[in-house]
Amino acid sequence: MPDLAPVYTAMAQLQRREARAVKQGLTIWKRMNALLLLALVATPSGQELAIQAAVAELARELRRALESEGQAIAPIVEAQFAAQARIAVPKVPIASQALALRGWEGAAAGLLVTELARLHASGADDRAMVARLITGRDGRVSTVGSLATILQLQIESGVWSTANGHLVRLASAVPTGQLQKQAIAAIDTRTTQCCLRVHGQIQDLDRPFVLTGTPRFADRVQNPPFHHRCRTAVSLYTPAMEAVGTPTATMRAQARALANQPGASRTR
């Protein structure tokens, strides 16, 4: 098993970066409440255009903020790489598009416009529209609130996919081609069956991890995140690293024992 101290250091830093990025993204999105109220003042024919313009404005601000957050991930990953590989860090640009929320703008505008059209068709008054779209005072999560949850999940996944993808690109740039990748999960009471069962798995850099536990996005995923709110990181691996610390076989057996404990559903 590789020396995991650099991995856990990077994981702690990424969790702080994740929290910062989520807070920044949700703060920007919260402005949608006021913008949506202004849009509802427009004539019915102008409401759709006003909503699309409001979403576009916030999407531009989100892209700028999250691009900056994505670039801040590079030093964390490169420090992990240098500590594990013990060689000079290759010059590989970070691909921070994972934090750029691809498709977010269209999905957010489409959901708001669709819900507004449904409300108009049902004869809802202004109070009902505000409750359904913004406040949630009708007893359900508002449309803006639902989009905030989706935004949070997308940012969280973006942080980890950007970090893990950058580490793999760094390893792929090493001329020797001797490095492999290993999945290292954050082990605690929140660790899912998916991550307990993949913990310690080793794959070539260009091969996906094979997933068996739940929840999971797919049966084979190139790099974490493996599910929403996944906290598994990629570690560098060579067989020589088995001489350091706990052997991989023991590490995997310990995680499997946790997964098989009675009552340990661990699906979230």
Domain boundaries, the chain: 5-259
pLDDT in tens, 111-152: 999 999 999 999 999 899 999 999 998 888 999 999 999 999
Report residue 68's pLDDT band, with 50, 70 and 90 as the boundaries.
confident
* Tally of CB atoms within 10 A around 139: 6
Give exposure, 240-256, as e/b (b: 16+ Cβ within 10 Å): ebeeeeeebeebbeebe
177 conformational bin, left if phi > 0, alpha if psi -120 to 50, beta if neither: left
Q: Is 176 exposed, middle or buried (0-12, 13-18, 19+ CB in 10 A)?
A: exposed
Sign of the dihedral defined by the CA atoms of residues 155, 159, 161, 162, in that order: positive
pLDDT in tens, 164-201: 999 999 999 887 767 999 999 998 888 999 999 999 99
Mean pLDDT for the stretch of residues 12-25:
94
Report the candidate in 252, 177, 245 with the shortest Cα–Cα distance to residue 213. 252
pTM comes to 0.88
215: preceding bond cis by omega (within 30 degrees): yes
Report the candidate in 111, 110, 138 with the shortest Cα–Cα distance to residue 124. 138
